[in-house]
Amino acid sequence: MTEQGTPPSRGNNLDPWYHHYAERTSGLAASEVRALFAVASRPEVVSLAGGMPYVSALPEDLVVGAMERVMREQGPVALQYGSGQGVPALREQILEVMALEGISGSADDVVVTTGSQHALELFSKLFIDPGDVVLAEGPSYVTAMVIFRSYQAEVDHVPMDEHGLIPSALREHIARLKAAGRRVKFLYTVPTFHNPAGVTLSWERRLEILEIAKANDILVLEDNPYGLLYFGDKPPAAMRSVERDGVVYLGTFSKTLAPGFRVGWALAPHAIREKLILANEAAVLSPSSFSQLVISEYLREADWKGQIDTFRGVYRERKEAMISALKEHLPELTWTDPNGGFYVWLTLPSHLDSKAMLPRAVTELVAYTPGTAFFADGSGAQNIRLSFCYPTPESIRVGIRRLANVINGEQDLLDTFAGTGNLSAPRLNRNSSNPPTDLR
Ligand SMILES: Cc1ncc(COP(=O)(O)O)c(C=O)c1O
C-alpha cells in the first residue's frame, strides 16, 4: 500500500503520467522480444526475424530519375499538401496494379494511405468499438493485431491449414460468438502468401468464406501486400475480384517497390471510402504528395512489371535456399513451403518453446520471430516465423545451420532430463515434405 492507502499501480511507476493514459493504450505494450531484436540487428547475427523487403534489388537510377523529373516538372505540387484521398493520376494507376490480381474498380473508390498499415489503422478507427470481436486467421499479422487491440477489440483466431483459413472453423467461431452475444465486426484476412504462415487461401475457400461473411453480415478486410510476389503459378484472384460490397481491399507499394515511400491504399465501397477519406484527412491531412508523385512517375516511365519479376526472382532464390537448408539441417521438422511472399512457418516438436529458445539463438547468432508474436491468445510457442526476404541465400544457409544447432541443443538438453523425468516426448515430428495439416 502507498502512503495514502491506495494500492500500488501496475506497470511503470517511473512515468509520472502513467495514470493519465487512455485505457486503449494497454494494447500498445512493446513486444517481449523487442529488446532481443536490438541485439539481433548486429551484423554478425543472421536475422531471419524481420520482414524487410530487399530494396537493393531496385535500381537506384529508376527512383532517382523519377524523383528528378517530379521535382523539375511538378516541384511546387510535390512539396505541397495534397488531397486526403490521394493523387488522382496515381489512383488511376493503382487500378492497373490491382487488375493484375483480377480486381476491377473505380479510381473514385481508391484512398491512398501512408502504407497499408495506416489503412488498417483508419479502418479500425471506423469500425471497432470497445468489446467488438475481430476475426482473424490464427496466426495473424502481428501489427494488425496491435491496432485492433488498441481500439479495444478482442481478436478471435480462426484456424488455418495448408489451404488457408478453414471455412467450417469460421462458421463454428461465428456461431459460438453469436450465441455468446458478441458482436463480430469484420474478418481480417491475408489470403495470399500469408504473414506469418506463408500459405495461400484456395479459390474454393475464397468463395465459401465470402458467402459465410455475407450470410452473417460480416465485412471482410482483405490485406494483400504480397500477392504479386509469386514464385511459380499465379495465386488465385483477390477476394475483392468477386465481391465489391462486402470487401475492403488493402494494397501497398512497400513490397513491389519500396516501403520507404510509405504509400499504400484501400479500395472500399462508396460509403466506407467516404469515411476513410475523412479519417485520413483527420489523421494526416493528406498522404505525402512527393511520394505519390514519384511513384506515379515511376509507374509511368519504368518497367515496373519487369521490376516485380526481378523481385520475384530474388525472393524465389532465397526461399529455395531456406527450404533446402531446412531439409538438410532440420529434416525431422515440418514447415510451410510458400509459393510467394516472404515467410516460412516452422513447427517445432511440441515440447520446445520458441520464445524461451530465442535468447540462446541470438547467442548463437541467429534470430527469428517466435510464433507467440502472431497470436493474441498466447499460443504459438511451438512455431517460428522465418523470413527469407532480406538475407542473402548464403546467409540464409548459415542462419538455418545455426538454428538447427540451437534446436538440436535444446532437444538434447530435454532428452538428457527426460532420462530422469518424464519428458520423453516423441523426438521430432518426422516429415519435412508435407506441410502440417493444421497451423494451430
Ligand atoms: C500483412 C501485412 N499487412 C500490412 C503490412 C504493412 O505494410 P505497409 O504499411 O508497408 O504497406 C505488412 C508489412 O509487412 C504486412 O505484412
Rounded Cα gap, residues 117 and 263, in angstroms: 9
Cell triple for residue 329?
Answer: 539441417
pLDDT tens for each residue of 57-109: 999 999 999 999 999 999 999 999 999 999 999 999 999 999 999 999 999 99
State mean pLDDT over 201-210.
Answer: 98
Among 111, 112, 120, 143, residue to substitute to test ligand 1 (most atoms within 8 Å of Cβ): 143
Distance, in Å, from the CA atom of 13 to the CA atom of 25, rounded to the nearest integer, reads 16
Tell me, using a 6 A CB cutoff, whether residue 142 lines ligand 1. no
Q: What is the pLDDT of residue 9?
A: 47
Arithmetic mean of pLDDT, 229-247: 97
Instruction: Please report the pLDDT score of residue 37 as a whole number.
Output: 72
The per-residue pLDDT of the chain, averaged, comes to 91
pLDDT value of residue 79: 98
Sequence-separated contacts (24+) of 421-428 with Cβ below 8 Å: 423/351, 425/349, 425/350, 425/351, 426/349, 427/332, 427/349, 428/332, 428/333, 428/349
Residue type for position 252: T
Does residue 421 surpass a pLDDT of 80? Answer: no
- Give the pLDDT confidence score for residue 432 in this predicted structure: 38
In this predicted model, what pLDDT tens digit does every residue of 371-406 receive, in sequence order? 999 999 999 999 999 999 999 999 999 999 999 999
Average pLDDT over residues 253-265: 98
Ligand 1 atom showing the smallest separation from residue 120 Cα: 4
Q: Whose CA is nearest to atom 14 of ligand 1?
A: 51
Could you give the CA distance from residue 274 to residue 238 in angstroms, rounded to a whole number?
Answer: 23
Q: Tell whether ligand 1 has an atom less than 6 A from the beta carbon of residue 259.
A: yes
For residue 284, the Cα-to-chain-centroid distance in whole angstroms is: 23
- In this prediction, residue 428 has a pLDDT band, given cuts at 50, 70 and 90, of very low
Pocket-testing residue among 252, 253, 256, 369, ligand 1, by greatest number of atoms within 8 A of Cβ: 252
Measured in Å, residue 324 CA sits from the centre of ligand 1 at 27
Residues 342, 34, 259: CA angle, nearest 5 degrees? 40
> Is the pLDDT confidence value at 176 over 60?
yes
Whether the Cβ atoms of residue 411 and residue 427 lie closer than 8 Å to each other: yes
What's the pLDDT tens digit per position in 19-58? 898 988 887 777 666 766 777 778 899 999 989 999 999 9
- How far is ligand 1, taken at its centre, from the CA of residue 115, in Å? 7
204 Cα–ligand 1 center, Å: 25
In degrees and rounded to multiples of 5, residue 202 shows phi and psi of -70, 160
Task: Please determine, for residue 426, whether its predicted confidence score (pLDDT) is greater than 50.
Answer: no
Q: For residue 433, report the distance from its CA to the centre of ligand 1, in Å.
A: 29
pLDDT at residue number 435 = 41
Q: Is the CB of 115 under 6 A from ligand 1?
A: yes
Ligand 1 mean position, distance from CA 117 (Å): 6
**Closest atom of ligand 1 to CA, residue 253:** 11
Query: Ligand 1 pocket, 117 CB below 6 A?
Result: yes
pLDDT given for residue 419 in this prediction: 58
- CA 289 to ligand 1 center in whole angstroms: 20
- Per the document, the length of the chain is 440
* pLDDT, tens only, 129-146: 999 999 999 999 999 999
- Give the model's pLDDT for residue 440: 44
CA of 194 to the centre of ligand 1 (A): 11
pLDDT of 15 reads 86
Higher pLDDT, 19 or 164: 164
Q: Is a pLDDT exceeding 70 seen at residue 433?
A: no
Lowest-confidence segment of 44-53, 139-148, 203-212, 416-425 by average pLDDT:
416-425
* 3 state SS for the chain: CCCCCCCCCCCCCCCCCHHHCCHHHHHHCCCCCHHHHHHHCCCCCEECCCCCCCHHHCCHHHHHHHHHHHHHHHHHHHCCCCCCCCCHHHHHHHHHHHHCCCCCCCHHHEEEECHHHHHHHHHHHHHCCCCCEEEEEECCCHHHHHHHHHCCCEEEEEEEECCEECHHHHHHHHHHHHHCCCCEEEEEECCCCCCCCCCCCCHHHHHHHHHHHHHCCCEEEEECCCCCCECCCCCCCCHHHCCCCCEEEEEECCCCCCHHHCCEEEECCHHHHHHHHHHHHHHHCCCCHHHHHHHHHHHHHCCHHHHHHHHHHHHHHHHHHHHHHHHHHCCCCEECCCCECCEEEEECCCCCCHHHHHHHHHHCCEECEEHHHHCCCCCCCCEEEEECCCCCHHHHHHHHHHHHHHHHHHHHHHHHHHCCCCCCCCCCCCCCCCCCCCCC
pLDDT band at 2 (very low <50, low <70, confident <90, very high): very low
pLDDT of residue 24: 84
Query: Ligand 1 centroid vs 195 CA: distance in angstroms?
Result: 9
Residue whose CB lies within 8 A of the most ligand 1 atoms, among 52, 116, 315, for a mutation test: 116
Q: Is the pLDDT score of 306 beyond 80?
A: yes
CA 115 to chain centre: 12
Which residues are bridge partners to 266 per DSSP? 111, 250
Indicate whether 335 pLDDT > 90: yes
